[in-house]
Structure 1
Amino acid sequence: MRNDMKTPRGLSSLERFDLLPLLRDGVQVHYEGSIDKQGYNADWDWLLYKDGGEYVIFDVDGPGCIYNFVQHRYPDSPEPTFRFYFDGETSPRFEIKHSEFGAKAPFVAPLAGAYLGPEEGGRGPIRVVRSFVPMPYARSCKITTDIRLKGAAKGDGGWGHVVYHAYAEGDDELITFTGEESYDRTLDIWRRVGEDPKPDMASEMTAHRELFISAGGSAVVFEAEGAGCIVSMLAETPGIGAHDLWVRATWDGHESPDVESPLGAFFGNELGINAIGILSHGTRADGVSYNYFPMPFWRSAKVELVNKGEADIRIARWDVSHTSEKATLSRYPEGRTGYFRASSYRESKATRGADAVIGRIEGKGHMVAAQVTAFARKPGIVSCEGDVRVYIDGIATPQIESDGSESYVCYGWGFPTPPETNPSSGYDGLPDNPWSMVRLCAGDCYPFREQLIFGIESGDYNNQYLRHSGILFYYGIDTPGLLLTDELDIGDRGSEEAHGYVASGGRGSYSLESGYEDGTHRLLKDTGRETEGYSEFTVAIDPRNAGVRLRRRSDQITGRQRAHVYVDGERVESRSWYFADRNPYKRWLEDEFEIPSRHTAGKTDITVRLVFEQEGESRVWNEFYYWIYSLV
């Protein structure tokens, strides 16, 4: 186990819950899954392409780590075998059948498992398998099945997703998954939900018993000067409404609170109908609520309980455990560590015809948990078909998406059997409506350098009346880590000349009017170029950069576009620019390539050459627009 302060990768991200506040540089989160390409609710086909006798459902180039794998299947459908290929290998390194999730090492409970839903229209109970087993890889990863995952009828079995981290560069500590790893430490943590998942952090407690807070009043439950870290908060609050009492936390004298959350959301369940709990926060069977997110500060801290209800409140118990200044400074270097924060709480309301924005975060950091609650107009309505969509740093293509709300928290076919929990996610409510879901993103946190927007559909395709509320928890700082330093408009003669744009093997320009996979009907028209050779251009960057991010708008009518990236004549060896998916309906795609700082540090401009390599059906590399960001 690593004890240094470097960015945790792979297994250590789950073993070292105490390192969750450390900022993630050189890490991006992505999603691949069975999303209806026309933007409706036919999410059951999961296929990128066919490779010999196998069906490819995941294919990425470059170092990274898979953190979440989910697949839905009807019991009457043929059972798939999933095969994992790493680092360009032609033989699978690991295989697992659908029925083996939860039993075959290292995919054992509770790191992996299955959910069996109720009967549904005579089609049989749907079986959902899920895994949070970290699967790192140094160069590449491909996942296949021996049968095609398609269809929503009895005997079919599609749906599924993979959530993974992509690293700008590998390192000596990033060792490709073998299937022989010992996950004993992680399993021990995951089997003790309700206990503090962090390693022993010597702390002292500030305890409160029989607190009385009048209507409209507040009480300070923790206050400190100097550096420290809140290790946990434990409370007994029976009978208090989930929205009457609020937790307000302010670190280092900030003008606005870093956390302002209703009691229910702070402890992982807005509805509070049943006691549910995940690793980070929840309520135990004995009625004690807990929040174990580490909350470091460097100059001061103040935690208040605010009574926003109309009646006086009595709190039986509220305990705050916290560490010393020395322990905090050694574990959490200021500037490389984020503050524990919450997005502005979204009050319950409907958004008509568009995704409901649950949270909008600015600055630099990484999201670690999401709480979403929904109400339909009548009980029993299936109200969970809305996809979650997460946009990071202003990109127009969602970096995280889900085939329904229930799939986001690794269940399936509605929310019919509340309460349901596993160590990383769960839901409460009444069958299907209302519901409240919670998702912990510990290994698969969502890094952002400028902005994160978390939205969710209302119904199949924003065609349902739903009132959504919710909040996001994250670690962050106010200063953004991304600076737009240049833009290249392909097809615009002046922009091309200003950037010295040339293309070899060019097949000419063409115009396209289409939409993005963003749940809207907006159309955008642009002109770009195709090349079967290379394209080259020179762009401005900030010499203080810690790397450069290239963002491209392209036409994804065909999949498996690949180009090798050269910077000032030197190839970026860590990965090629590769995107395996396609969408012939919503054809606009924005994807990114991160250039490590050793190619860019100290420079004011770089010359980029993109050399096309034919892969599968794709015969050309197409490009319409480039944004150039310096990582600062």
Structure 2
Amino acid sequence: MIRQAHQATTKLRCTRQKLGALGLKASALESAAFVPAGRQCAGLEPGFGLLASGMKHAASIAFGCLVVLGTSYMVCSAPVITTGRLLEEMTDLAGLARWPEPAYRTMQFSSYDRRSTTAEAPGWFSNADGFGREPIPGFLKVLREPRDGQPGLYLVAEVNGPGAIVRGWSAGMGGTLRVWLDPAAAPEAAEAPPPIWEGPAYEFLARRTQHFLKAAGLSVDAGDAFVQQDADYLPIPFARGLRVTWEGRLNELHFYHLQVRLYPPGTAVRTFDPRKDLKEFEPQLRAAIAGLTKPVAGPAGEPIQLEAEIAPGRSWSWSPQAKGPGAVRELKLRLRADSLDTALRGCLLQIAFDGSQRPQVEAPVGDFFGSGPGVNPFSSLPFTVEPDGTMSCRFVMPYEKSLRIELVNYTAAPVRLEGSVRLGEWTWDERSLYFRAKWRADHDLLAGAGVLDLPYLVAIGKGVFAGCAAMVMNPSGVPTAGGNWWGEGDEKILVDGELTPSTFGTGSEDYFNYSWSRPDLFDHPYCGQPLDSGPDTAGYVSNHRFQVIDAIPFEQSLAVLFELWPHNRTPGLSYARIVYHYARPGTVDDHRGLMPSDLKVPLLPAREPVATGGAAGAKFHFFEDLQPQATAGKVQTAPMPLASRLRLTLWQAEKGAQLKCTLPVEQDGRFGLHLVALHRPEGGIVRVRLDGQTLVRTDGTEEIQLRSAHAPRLLNVHFRPVQLTAGSHELVLECLQPGPVGLDYVWIRKP
């Protein structure tokens, strides 16, 4: 027995050496599970060695025949966390439906205002979070004060133990970022190993994928799989720790997020190698790109067709004939109604698992899919909305015994439902989680009278936060984002009773992966802005972000808050939102069951343009007041619910025709001219002349395509400044391609 124990000790020493060769912590072995010999762990054979476990490059360590008190044992450790495994997790929606193994925590290092500490302490709503000249630098520590004109050195992130970078974001951070994985005691010392990154901060936070693909010698078109707006999701694991510093000037922009997974001590992690990993894990890399950019549902049976005519005030429901366990792998719905926007908001989707009297899913149909209000096409990993109104959900929804899908028609008109559901197998166990998605709306808010924390979700229980969507009706009269922006407030995510959020953001658009309150429409695998009716960020807006590789597990509680903080006082604002998450049975939350009064699309009120923000000092002239005359094509005042006065001047423009009006100017000077015009799929193409001179847009073009990809939008068209004298000036729109031309107003201001 002594001899056998000595052999086992020798094998343990060898195993530690192999772990070291992999860049793993030897303590991973001590935390491994011991299984009696004769039994096998999944993917392992008895004996000593490095063996594949389940996936091609996920390794497990085992050594055999360790004799303790006369009993023979072997060691079975969890699969090693590698870059390849993390790439696989990027598309693993089924993985969200089980408590993660190994369990991890997610936290975010960011440039949030350090005066914000806890909810009832002074400074909770402070907002100096990366603009420059903050009272307290937005970093963990000042490592070197700036002096003699030289930039300072600041600690961005520091982790002791295993983990992984899973997301970076920046709005344009300058300076130099240095990133060390498994850093030495003094990583900045000359003899210490070099950082894996030393270069422009923004390039690492928001554009690192292409750099590391090049370093690995790969020529791969990743599309938008990793780089999504101003964020980059390329995962970077580390075995023993992380250290990130920034060298830069505090008086310059330095907005940043760096989201990190923290694994339990002893978790076996193989540290990212910039020269080797992406080449070694190229199959997983390419699979992730394909899965993210061309998403499909997981393994499931044939589609089960769903059809119904639902009368006003009536409901429809469906349950599978076979009892569980099982899982919804794909749900497709399409509504048909005389007023589709009304139906998508007024038909309530409820999904209940295992007989729950509180449905785990409760949301208007359109808003559940992140499209509301109306049909706003986009493609993402968990959701797709097609232009014809077909909406698909690929979030996996497991149940142990039963499933019930119900639609309630709270509108005043009949609605036709068409769709399908695909079910798959599921092994229900103690790690299984229910899918939950509960929508809420606050209509008629007085926004901007003070900052508010709007609750997205407060839950007590165990689960995983997987993202959210916001649907805003913003009735601001300011025509520019500088002035009509609704989302200056930060996200605050508090996990397991913490008082200071472990995720503290720097602005609502930053959470949704874009910057500077841009009105652009975009969609990516994890985020999107499919709706922004304008002008700029006024009107109807919808944003979403899905957290998969950057999901946030919670063991006891979760609170997700977003500050409501518009640039200006805005009465009548509506703010709806939905949180996608998973939770163990018995989890409770703060959701109030929805009422018919919640299920409405709030109408934009009539509002006069306001000269503030980016439009400070502007003079506004409505086209209907300028009495335009057309050389051809009908001109009329037509109702338009997006327009400032709920009506606009509509010209059925013919090619070569002109629309003429007189523009008054009160004083001499150099002015920027801006046109607020309707854009829609069938819109015309025009150019604008002022006193016979063609106006050039700020992007250098002359043609104005008054067209949108799908829904109508009311957008600014900005022209380069021109010199004008006081008096009347002839403003002419010339039609280059026929189509309707909708004109709200023109505004001029000195730049």
> TM class by shorter-chain length?
0.5 to 0.7
CA distance in 2, matches of 1:138, 1:257: 41
Q: Given the alignment, which residue of 76, 85, 90 partners 1:14? A: 90
- Asked whether 1:405 is paired with 2:493, we answer no
CA distance in 1, matches of 2:578, 2:178: 37
Corresponding residue for residue 182 of structure 2: 87
Corresponding residue for residue 41 of structure 1: 127
CA distance in 2, matches of 1:342, 1:6: 31
- Listed as ranges, the matches of 1:486-505 within 5 Å are none
CA distance in 2, matches of 1:29, 1:233: 29
Corresponding residue for residue 476 of structure 1: 583
Q: Give deviations 1:93-136, integer Å, cap 9, x for gaps.
A: 24464455453234954243364xxxxxxxxxxxxx31111112
Answer with 341-350 or 246-255: which moved more.
341-350
Cα 1:335–1:347 change in 2 (3 A) is farther
CA distance in 1, matches of 2:439, 2:513: 25
Corresponding residue for residue 564 of structure 1: none
Cα 1:6–1:422 change in 2 (3 A) is farther
Q: Given the alignment, which residue of 230, 247, 260 partners 1:164? A: 260
CA distance in 1, matches of 2:286, 2:566: 36
Corresponding residue for residue 365 of structure 1: 463
Kept in 2: contact 1:367–1:447 (CA 8 A): yes
Q: Give deviations 1:284-321, integer Å, cap 9, x for gaps.
A: 35643110001111111111122122221113x31101
- Listed as ranges, the matches of 1:314-353 within 5 Å are 314-315=416-417, 317-323=418-424, 327-329=425-427, 333-343=428-438, 345-348=440-443, 350=445, 353=451
Corresponding residue for residue 217 of structure 1: 314
CA distance in 2, matches of 1:227, 1:188: 29
DSSP 3-state at the match of 2:170? strand
The alignment covers a number of residue pairs equal to: 448
Corresponding residue for residue 241 of structure 2: 140
DSSP 3-state at the match of 1:243? helix
Offset of residue 445 of structure 1: 1.0
- Asked whether 1:275 is paired with 2:366, we answer no
Aligned amino acid, residue 110 of structure 1: D
Aligned amino acid, residue 226 of structure 2: A
Corresponding residue for residue 488 of structure 2: 385
Q: Given the alignment, which residue of 432, 440, 452 partners 2:537? A: 432
Offset of residue 250 of structure 1: 0.9
CA distance in 2, matches of 1:10, 1:193: 13
Kept in 2: contact 1:41–1:461 (CA 8 A): no
Measured on the aligned residues, the alpha-carbon RMSD in Å equals: 3.0
Kept in 2: contact 1:223–1:303 (CA 8 A): no
Aligned amino acid, residue 130 of structure 1: A
Offset of residue 246 of structure 1: 2.0
DSSP 3-state at the match of 1:478? coil
Kept in 2: contact 1:365–1:449 (CA 8 A): yes
Q: Given the alignment, which residue of 344, 348, 363 partners 1:261? A: 363
DSSP 3-state at the match of 1:383? coil
Higher normalized helix content (fraction of residues): 2
Corresponding residue for residue 578 of structure 1: none
Q: Give deviations 1:34-55, integer Å, cap 9, x for gaps.
A: 1123342221155333556754
Cα 1:280–1:373 change in 2 (3 A) is same
Kept in 1: contact 2:104–2:553 (CA 8 A): yes
- Listed as ranges, the matches of 1:433-452 within 5 Å are 433=538, 434-452=540-558
Q: Given the alignment, which residue of 88, 108, 118 partners 1:31? A: 108
DSSP 3-state at the match of 2:379? coil
Kept in 2: contact 1:230–1:295 (CA 8 A): yes
CA distance in 2, matches of 1:402, 1:429: 22
- Listed as ranges, the matches of 1:105-254 within 5 Å are 105-106=212-213, 109-113=223-227, 115=229, 129-148=230-249, 150-151=250-251, 156-172=252-268, 174-179=269-274, 180-181=277-278, 182=281, 184-191=283-290, 195-197=294-296, 200-209=298-307, 211-224=308-321, 225-237=323-335, 239-241=340-342, 242-254=344-356
Q: Given the alignment, which residue of 187, 203, 211 partners 1:104? A: 211
DSSP 3-state at the match of 1:260? strand
Aligned amino acid, residue 29 of structure 1: T
CA distance in 2, matches of 1:215, 1:51: 65
Q: Please, what TM-score do these two structures have when normalized by structure 2?
A: 0.55
Offset of residue 371 of structure 1: 1.3
Cα 1:319–1:260 change in 2 (3 A) is same
Q: Which has the larger radius of gyration?
A: 2
Q: Please, what TM-score do these two structures have when normalized by structure 1?
A: 0.65
Corresponding residue for residue 61 of structure 2: none
Aligned amino acid, residue 128 of structure 2: A
Offset of residue 355 of structure 1: 0.3
Higher relative contact order (CA 8 A, sep 6+): 1
Cα 1:106–1:184 change in 2 (3 A) is farther
Q: Give deviations 1:349-375, integer Å, cap 9, x for gaps.
A: 538643011222221111112112233
Cα 1:479–1:113 change in 2 (3 A) is same
What stretches of structure 1 of length at least 5 have no aligned partner? 116-128, 482-632
CA distance in 2, matches of 1:190, 1:348: 40
Kept in 2: contact 1:194–1:282 (CA 8 A): no
CA distance in 1, matches of 2:295, 2:224: 17
Offset of residue 231 of structure 1: 0.5
Cα 1:47–1:226 change in 2 (3 A) is closer
Cα 1:301–1:355 change in 2 (3 A) is same
